Amino acid sequence: MHRLRRTGLVVAMVTAVALAVAGCGADGDGTPEIRVSAATSLKTAFTDYADGLDDVDARLSFAGSDQLAGQIRSGVRPDVFAAANAKLPRALFAEGLVERPVAFARNRLVLAVAADERGIRGIDDLTARGRSLAIGAADVPVGDYTRTVLGRLPDATERAVLAAVRSEEPDVGGVVGKIAEGAVDAGFVYATDVRAAGGRLRAITLPASLQPDVVYEVAVVREARDRAAAQRFVDGLLTGRGAAALRRSGFLPPT
């Protein structure tokens, strides 16, 4: 009887340890599992990167950078946070919620139109009567970058373009969707988003004098379940498979 009780106790203890290990972020074959929260514009590149990993099982979630930062502030703890700007990761670092962020990619803002749209060749064409435009909301990176561009226009042109805005989207994916669906004539998105749209959109390059500095930064989140695995994922974005995936998707090097 005592032996049976001891055996049951040992089994229970082993089971508890196994559950604890599973909860620490390892999948069935022992590969470390991490959760990565990333800006919507990184979806193609990060999915490509994660699919090629064999030492880390990266579970990806995508949304607007500001929304993901807000989740971290609310207590959600992914292992890695990758944003479409530097401001949000640096703010979280100042708040003690992430480790020191690093720049891992750059992008370019473009004016995007449907592939068959021929009436819009530049920003000035957005001022014509009846034109419609989608932009990012003011508190998301693509919206901030867009407002930087508009703020560099002559005052009259800026007012006319803003008057054409029909939708302010919570992330760049929303802007892409509005253009692709024909709900608006144009929108400001990243060059990589046009590339990922499979020929549905056409990019109109902005003059260098209007182009904002679009930099992406990433950080390991404090209280990450597996800091070593999270750091390996981040390191791969700088040199290795992640950097290669970013280049394939059209992202520029961080410097």
* Residues sharing a CB contact under 8 Å with residue 68, sequence separation 6 or more, in sequence order: 37, 38, 39, 61, 78, 81, 83
8 A C-beta contact, residue 71 and residue 65: no
Determine if residue 65 is labeled as part of a ligand binding site: yes
Tokens coding 245:
């995936």
- The per-residue b/e assignment along 35-67, b for 16 or more CB within 10 angstroms, e otherwise, is bbbbbbbbbbbbbbbbeebeebbbebebbbbbb
Whether 215 has a binding-site annotation, put simply, is no
CA atoms within 13 A on the CB side of 137: 11
Q: What whole-number distance in Å separates Cα of residue 90 and Cα of residue 100? A: 7
Q: How far is CA 254 from the centre of its chain?
A: 15
Residue 72 in tokens: 């971290």
With tokens 């280049």, the residue in question is 247
| Backbone phi and psi for residue 75, each to the nearest 5 degrees, phi listed first | 115, -5
Is 132 within any annotated ligand binding site?
A: no
Residue 190 labelled as part of a binding site:
yes
Chain centre to alpha carbon of residue 94: 20
Q: Please give the Cα distance from 33 to 35 (Å, whole number).
A: 7
Annotated binding site: 41, 65, 172, 190
Annotated binding site for molybdate: 41, 65, 172, 190
